[in-house]
């Protein structure tokens, strides 16, 4: 009887440990100084998604099993400072600081430049051509950076500026003329293209960049000086993280905004991700937060995540991946976080 009781006790401990580990963040095996993570559809058919993680020091890594195993790819990209990555058809596209757009047709193994039509660096503003973001909207590919937004309709063979209605209040240092705003985020949803600028707010195009509408009214900051730190879209809901002011939600594609910061006390949110009806916020001082009710209330979901400095978030299937700098890349089940949050929301 004593042996039976001891066995049951050990089984109970094992079950508790297993359950606990399933509801915590788990580090995945890539270097510690990961700067961003991206998910793209698989072009090989062997996996539902490709997961990529990038380190300035160690380069680009690829996983096809939600982060369980990784391989190094694209060694020729290591010095190019990749900022964002996406896929269109059987091609991968990387937006970089130093070499514009790089394209791969073999899932990241090798890369080549795809910059015809993109501006060259200008003497009046060092780093002026740097790219920060890339997005796909139907057959159209877009990149954004310090010269605004550019579109390609032929998988990166050629690019054209779509900045006619994107204006910034920041003048060029040498000439003083207005230039397009520095675009930090591009998000596409149901034919809509949203562009998030570093200091001049959010813009919407419904015709692939031909025309833009300024959506910044209602966001904090003086006109033209909205310090955007993150952007996410799910359905008709648009979420914007504003440095120093928290998270704002628009239920009508950016035409009106409401602060949604209950449960985010003092959180300096710098990244946003959406999965179905759930929204995640990554902060520099509070870890990861989840809302399952459109931002009405946020719940901290940081058990097992070292430190509080989160640089990037991306959702893939039932997993959320978080870049906890400098600790590395971590993964946690979205459904389990939702179950945890339901107990307090």
Q: State pLDDT tens for residues 89-136.
A: 889 999 998 889 999 999 899 999 999 999 875 444 444 568 999 999
Q: What is the mean pLDDT of the chain?
A: 82
Q: What is the pTM of this model?
A: 0.85
Band (285; pLDDT cuts 50, 70, 90): confident
pLDDT at 57: 81
Q: Which of 306, 265, 314, 262 is nearest to 287 (CA)?
A: 306
Element (H, E) at 259: strand 258-259
Query: What is the DSSP code (8-state) at residue 113?
Result: E
Structure-block tokens of residue 31: 């270097």
pLDDT at 97: 85
Domain extents for the chain? 236-345
On the question of pLDDT at 73 being above 70, the answer is yes
pLDDT at 337: 94
pLDDT at 12: 35
Name the residue with higher pLDDT: 326 or 257.
257
pLDDT at 1: 46
Q: How far is CA 325 from CA 36, 185, 239, 284, 292, in A?
A: 10, 20, 23, 9, 26
On the question of pLDDT at 224 being above 60, the answer is no
Q: How many residues does the chain have?
A: 345
pLDDT at 15: 33
For 89, residues 6+ apart whose C-beta sits below 8 A from its C-beta are 43, 155
Q: Which of 281, 275, 277, 278 is nearest to 261 (CA)?
A: 281
| DSSP bridge pairs for 228 | 242
pLDDT at 204: 95
State mean pLDDT over 287-303: 93
Range with lowest mean pLDDT among 51-55, 211-215, 218-222, 257-261: 218-222
pLDDT at 178: 61
C-alpha 323/C-alpha 120 separation (Å) is: 32
State mean pLDDT over 223-245: 86
C-alpha 247/C-alpha 252 separation (Å) is: 16
Structure-block tokens of residue 72: 């190094």
- The residue with tokens 């890349």 is 329
pLDDT at 41: 67
State mean pLDDT over 258-275: 90
Nearest 5°: phi and psi at 208?
60, 40
On the question of pLDDT at 297 being above 80, the answer is yes
Report pLDDT digits (tens) over 132-188.
999 999 999 999 998 899 999 999 999 999 988 886 554 444 445 566 788 999 999
Band (3; pLDDT cuts 50, 70, 90): very low
Name the residue with higher pLDDT: 13 or 268.
268
Q: In percent, how much of the chain has pLDDT > 70?
A: 82
Helices (H), 126-236: none
Element (H, E) at 17: helix 2-22
Query: What is the DSSP code (8-state) at residue 191?
Result: T
- The residue with tokens 């490709």 is 50
In this structure, how many other beta carbons lie within 10 angstroms of the beta carbon of residue 190?
10
What is the residue-wise DSSP string for 108-139? TSS-EE--TTSPPP-TTSTTTT-EEEEEEETT
The class that CATH gives domain 236-345 is: mainly beta
């Amino acid at each position: 009887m004593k042996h039976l009781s001891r066995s049951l006790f050990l089984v109970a401990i094992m079950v508790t440990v297993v359950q606990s580990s399933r509801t915590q963040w788990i580090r995945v095996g890539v270097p510690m100084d990961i700067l961003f993570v991206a998910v793209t559809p698989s072009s090989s058919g062997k996996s539902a998604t490709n997961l990529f993680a990038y380190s300035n020091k160690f380069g680009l890594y690829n996983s096809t099993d939600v982060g369980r195993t990784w391989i190094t790819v694209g060694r020729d990209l290591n010095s190019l400072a990749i900022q964002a990555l996406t896929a269109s058809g059987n091609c991968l596209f990387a937006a970089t600081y130093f070499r514009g757009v790089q394209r791969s047709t073999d899932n990241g193994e090798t890369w080549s430049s795809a910059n015809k039509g993109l501006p060259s660096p200008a003497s009046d503003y060092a780093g002026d051509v740097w790219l920060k973001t890339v997005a796909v909207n139907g057959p159209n590919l877009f990149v954004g950076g310090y010269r605004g937004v550019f579109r390609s309709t032929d998988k990166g063979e050629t690019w054209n500026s779509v900045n006619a209605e994107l204006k910034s209040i920041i003048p060029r240092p040498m000439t003083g003329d207005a230039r397009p705003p520095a675009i930090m985020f591009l998000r596409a949803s149901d034919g809509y293209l949203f562009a998030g600028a570093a200091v001049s707010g959010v813009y919407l195009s419904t015709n692939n960049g031909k025309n833009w509408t300024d959506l910044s009214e209602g966001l904090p900051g003086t006109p033209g000086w909205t310090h955007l730190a993150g952007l996410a879209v799910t359905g008709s809901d648009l979420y914007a993280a504003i440095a120093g002011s928290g998270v704002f939600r628009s239920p009508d594609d950016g035409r009106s905004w409401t602060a949604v910061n209950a449960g985010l006390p003092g959180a300096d949110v710098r990244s946003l991700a959406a999965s179905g009806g759930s929204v995640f916020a990554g902060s520099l001082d509070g870890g990861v937060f989840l809302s399952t009710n459109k931002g009405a209330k946020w719940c901290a979901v940081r058990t097992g995540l070292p430190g509080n400095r989160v640089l990037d978030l991306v959702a893939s299937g039932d997993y959320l991946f978080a870049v906890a700098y400098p600790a590395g890349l971590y993964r946690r089940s979205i459904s389990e976080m939702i179950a945890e949050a339901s107990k307090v929301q």
